[in-house]
Structure 1
Amino acid sequence: MHIIVVGLNYRTAPVEVRERFAVAEKELTEAIKQFKQTSSIMECVIVATCNRTELYAVVDRHHLCGHYIRSFMEQWFKLPRQQFTNHLYMYEDTKAIEHLFRVTSGLDSMVIGETQILGQVKDAFAVAQQEKTTGTLFNMLFKQAVTMAKRAHSDTTIGESAVSVSYAAVELGKRIFGQFNKKSVMVVGAGETGELTAKHLYANGADRVIVVNRTYERAAQLASKFNGTAYSIEEAADRLHEVDIVISSTGAEGYVLDRQAVAAAMKRRKSKPLFMIDIAVPRDLDPSIAAIDNVFLYDIDDLEGIVESNLEHRRQEAAKIEPMIQEEIRSFEQWYKTLGVVPLIRALQSKAADIHQETMASMHNKLPDLDEHELKVISKLTKSIVNQMMQDPILRIKEMAGEKRADDAMDMFVKLFALEERLAEAKQAEKEASLAKTAEDGLSAGSAAKAGALQRAASALASVTR
C-alpha cells in the first residue's frame, strides 16, 4: 500500500486554472464515489477549496497510480490532461503525509497559519467517511493530522497576529481605543475591503455603522448587514462628528474628506479621538488631516507594514510547528509498520484462547466435582498465565516490525508459534468477504441501472402517448 496526493494550488496554478477544478459542495459526494471506483484506489479523500484541489489516495499499484488519478481528473473535470498536467504536483508516502500535516496546520496556505483550511479538511474527511471511501490508513492519518493542527495552533501564537488589511485595521483600533464597545463606524465607499473591515469592527463590538457611498442603493444594502444607516457620499462631512472610526475605500478622484471638514467635525466632537483608515489608492483622505489633534490617520502603507510584521511573526511561529510535524510523521509511520503484525498477534491470541478453552473443558471432565466458582477462579488464573506468556513475544514483534528485517522477524514469529494454518484461514475468510462485498455492490449497481432503464422507458412511452 502507498499513500499518494495529487493536486494543484495557488503556487502551481493561476486562478483561471484553479477555478476549472472547483468541486461544489453538492458535487463532492458524487466526485468521491467516482474517484473511489478508479483503478488501484483503495481509500480516498478530496480536498477542494478556492486555493487548492487535492486528491489523496491509498493505492495498491505504486507505479500506475499517477496515471489513474490523472485519468479520473480528465473525466470528472472534462479537461484533457495536457491542459493541467504541468500545474500538478504529486507526493508519495512520507512526502504525502508531511504535505497533509502542513496543509491542516496552515503552513501551506497563502496566509500562513490561517485556520479555515483545517475546517475544510475536516469537512472533506467527514464526507469521505460518510461515503465509506476511507479505511484503516486514512481514518488514522486524517484524524492525526486534524489533532496535530489543533495542537499546533494552541501551543503557538501563529494565528494571533493580523495578516490582512482588515484585521490590521482592527488591531490598530484596539491600540487606540482598547475595545470598540459603544463606538460608531463610518464606511466611506461600499466596496469589498471596506465592508470586510467594517465587519471585523462590528464583530469586535462597534455598535453603530454609517455607510456613505456615491450609489445610495449600494450604501443601503451594506448598511442593512450591520443594522446601520445609509447616506450619500455628499453627506459624509456632515455626519463625521457622529462617528469614532472612519474607513474609506472609494475609487474617487481627489480627496473625499479634506482637512477643513475633519477639523470642523472635531470641534463638534469636542476633540474626542477620531480613528481614520484610508485604504484607497489613490488616497481618499487628505494627508494633512493627520496634523489635527486627536485624529489618528493611517493609509494602506501603514497597514501593510503591520501585516508584513505580523507575517514575519507567523513565519517564526511556523518554525516551531515543523518539528511537531516531523514527530507526527514518525509516529504515524511507526503505527503503520505495526499494522503488518496485527494479523500475527490476532492469530497467536486466537490460538492461545482455543488452547485455554480446550484445557478448561478437559479439566471439567477430569474434575467434575469442581463448582462454578472454582472453575471461574481457575479459568481466570490460567488465562492470566497465558496472557503473561504472550506479553513479551507480542511486545518484541511490535518492536521488530519497525526494523529493517521486519519481514524475516515476522516469518520467524509465525514458524515459532506454528501460526501458518490460522493465517491461511484468516486470509481465505477475508478474500471471501471481499468477494461477497464486490458481488453485493455489483448487484446494487445493477438494480440501480435497471431502475434507470425502466424510468427512461416509462418516459419514452409517455412522450409517445401524449
Structure 2
Amino acid sequence: MHLLALGLSHRTAPVELRETLAFGPEELPGVLARLRDEARVEEVALLSTCNRTELYVAHPVWPDPEVLIRSLAAQKRVDPENIRPYLYRREDLEAAAHLFRVAAGLDSMVLGETQVLGQVRDAYQAAAAAGTAGKVLSRLMTGALAAAKRAQTETGIGQNAVSVPYAAVELARKLFETLQGRVVMAIGAGETAKLTVRHLAAAGVGRIYVANRTLDRARELAAEVGGVPIPLEAIRQHLPEVDVVISSTGSPHPILRREDIQQALRARRGRPIFLFDIAVPRDIDPAAGQLEGVYLYDIDDLEQVVAANIEERAREARRAERLLEEELARFRAWLAVQDVVPTIRLLREKAEDIRQAELQKALRKLPGLDPHQRRVVEAMSAAIVNKLLNDPTQRLKALAEAGEADGAARLVTLLFDLEGPDVGTRALPLPARAERAAPPVGQG
C-alpha cells in the first residue's frame, strides 16, 4: 500500500490562495466521496484549516496526483494551474512523517500550537464517517494523534507563551496564581490590548473596565468581553480596585504617573498590582516600577519574554522530533507487515484447505466416532496446523519489519506454491529525520 500526501500551507501559499481551498466540515462528506471516486483510490482524508489544505491518500498502486489536483480544484471552482506551483507532495513514510509533525504542531505558524491536534482528529473522524478511511489511513491518523499527544505531554513544546498577549496573561497568572475574580482595566482599545483582554476574559477574570478616549470604542470592546466601559478621565477613580492594567493608547505623554500608582497602592493596602504598558510612547511612568508591590512590564520586556519562550519551544521541539521518530518507526513496522499479510492469508488458506480435506478422509475411515470424538479429532488437526504455521507467520512479520518483506514473501510463495495476486512488497526505508521534505508536485 502506498501513501501520498498532497497539499499547500502557510509555508508555500499566500492566505488569499489558502482561503480558496478551505473546506468546512459540512462539505467534507461530499468532497471525500468525489475525490475517492474520481481518483479511484481506496482511502482518502482531507485536512483543511486556516493554514493548510492537505490530502492523505492510501492505495495499492501510486495514485495519479494530477487527478487529485483537478478534482480538488474543481470542487472550489479554482483553475488547477493557479494552485499547482504552491503544492507539495510527500510519499510513503515521508507522508506519514509530515502528518506526525503537523499533528504535533511542529509545522505550524506558531511552533507547538495545540489547535491543529484537534483539527487532525476532526479530519480523521470525517473520513471515517464518510467511509473513506480504511485500515491504513486509520492507523496513520491514530498514530499521528498518539504521537502528537506524546509530544505535548512529554515535552514543553506547547508551553511558554509566544505572543505578547499570551505572555502578559501568563505573567499575570504566575503572580496571582489564579486569575479567577481578578479585576482588569484596559486603557485604550488597540489590537494588542484587545487580544490581551480577550485572553484574560477567557481565563476567568472578574470585572473588566475598558477606558478609551472614544467611549463608543470602549463600549464595543466592553460588550465583547462582558466589561464595563468608562471614560478615560475615570481611570484613577477605579485604579485602587484593579489588579491588572493593560495600557495601549496613542498618547504622546504618560497617562498614569508614579503618584497615581502610589496613591492606588495605599488604597489597596499592600495588594500588588500588575501593569502592562504596551504603548509606544509609554503610557505609564517607568518610575512607577520602582514602587513596592508594582510589577511593570513594557513592550520590550514582554517581547524579551516571548523571544526567550520561542527559544525554549525550539529546544523542546528537538525533543519532540525524537519522540515522533520513535512513533514513526512503529508505524513503519506496522505498514511493512501489511505487505506480507496477503502471503500469510494465502498460506493459512492453503493449510486450512489441506486440513479439511485430510480431516474428511480420516473421518470417513472412522465412521463409529460419536460427536464428541469427532470434535476432538477436528480440534487436534486445527491445533497442529496453527502450531506449525505460527513460527513461519511470526518470522515473516519480523522479516517484513526488518525491511526484508520482498524476499521473504516471494520465498514463502515459492516454497508453498501459493496462488493469488502478487504478494511481493517494497522496502520502506525510515527517513533519517522526520521533517525531511519530499520535492514539490512539479518536481516529483
Instruction: Report the equivalent of 1:432.
Output: none
Name structure 1 gaps, 5 residues minimum.
Answer: 427-466
Instruction: Report the equivalent of 2:22.
Output: 22
Whichever structure has more helix as a proportion of its residues is 1
Higher RCO (Cα < 8 Å, 6 or more apart): 2
Indicate if the aligned counterparts of 1:40 and 1:61 stay in contact, CA closer than 8 A: no
Task: Give the Å deviation of 1:97.
Answer: 1.6
Alignment pair present for 1:9 and 2:2: no
Identity %: 41
Q: Deviations over 1:66-116 (max 9, x none)?
A: 322332343233333443333222222222221111101111112111111
- With over 3 angstroms needed to count, the CA separation of the structure-2 counterparts of 1:354 and 1:82, relative to structure 1, is closer
Alignment pair present for 1:177 and 2:180: no
Instruction: Report the equivalent of 2:431.
Output: none
Indicate if the aligned counterparts of 2:340 and 2:405 stay in contact, CA closer than 8 A: no
Aligned residues: 423
Q: In the TM superposition, what are the counterparts of 1:254-265 in structure 2 within 5 Å?
A: 254-265=253-264
Quote the Cα distance in structure 2 between the aligned partners of 1:71 and 1:230. 52
Q: In the TM superposition, what are the counterparts of 1:47-446 in structure 2 within 5 Å?
A: 47-59=47-59, 62=62, 65-224=64-223, 226-402=225-401, 406-420=405-419, 423=420
Quote the Cα distance in structure 2 between the aligned partners of 1:415 and 1:113. 50
* AA matched with 1:279: I
* AA matched with 1:189: G
Of 225-234 and 341-350, the range deviating more from structure 2: 225-234
Quote the Cα distance in structure 1 between the aligned partners of 2:360 and 2:61. 48
* AA matched with 2:177: G
Quote the Cα distance in structure 1 between the aligned partners of 2:26 and 2:249. 36
Indicate if the aligned counterparts of 2:339 and 2:405 stay in contact, CA closer than 8 A: no
- With over 3 angstroms needed to count, the CA separation of the structure-2 counterparts of 1:397 and 1:197, relative to structure 1, is same
- With over 3 angstroms needed to count, the CA separation of the structure-2 counterparts of 1:51 and 1:284, relative to structure 1, is farther
Q: Deviations over 1:100-158 (max 9, x none)?
A: 11101111112111111110011011111211222222111111111111112111122
Corresponding residue SS for 1:276:
strand
- With over 3 angstroms needed to count, the CA separation of the structure-2 counterparts of 1:377 and 1:219, relative to structure 1, is farther
Quote the Cα distance in structure 2 between the aligned partners of 1:103 and 1:35. 22
* AA matched with 2:29: T
* AA matched with 2:388: M
Quote the Cα distance in structure 1 between the aligned partners of 2:271 and 2:403. 73
Task: Give the Å deviation of 1:25.
Answer: 3.1
Corresponding residue SS for 1:231:
strand
Of 95-104 and 152-161, the range deviating more from structure 2: 152-161
TM-score (norm 1): 0.82
Instruction: Report the equivalent of 1:454.
Output: none
TM-score (norm 2): 0.86
Of 8-17 and 114-123, the range deviating more from structure 2: 8-17
Instruction: Report the equivalent of 1:436.
Output: none
Quote the Cα distance in structure 1 between the aligned partners of 2:264 and 2:241. 8
Task: Give the Å deviation of 1:295.
Answer: 1.7
Instruction: Report the equivalent of 1:455.
Output: none
* AA matched with 1:93: D
Corresponding residue SS for 1:54:
strand
- With over 3 angstroms needed to count, the CA separation of the structure-2 counterparts of 1:372 and 1:396, relative to structure 1, is same
Indicate if the aligned counterparts of 2:250 and 2:280 stay in contact, CA closer than 8 A: yes
Q: Deviations over 1:358-401 (max 9, x none)?
A: 44444443334333333333333332221111111212222333
CA RMSD of aligned residues (A): 2.7
Indicate if the aligned counterparts of 1:40 and 1:60 stay in contact, CA closer than 8 A: no
Indicate if the aligned counterparts of 2:151 and 2:324 stay in contact, CA closer than 8 A: no
Instruction: Report the equivalent of 1:445.
Output: none
Of 402-411 and 102-111, the range deviating more from structure 2: 402-411
Task: Give the Å deviation of 1:191.
Answer: 4.4
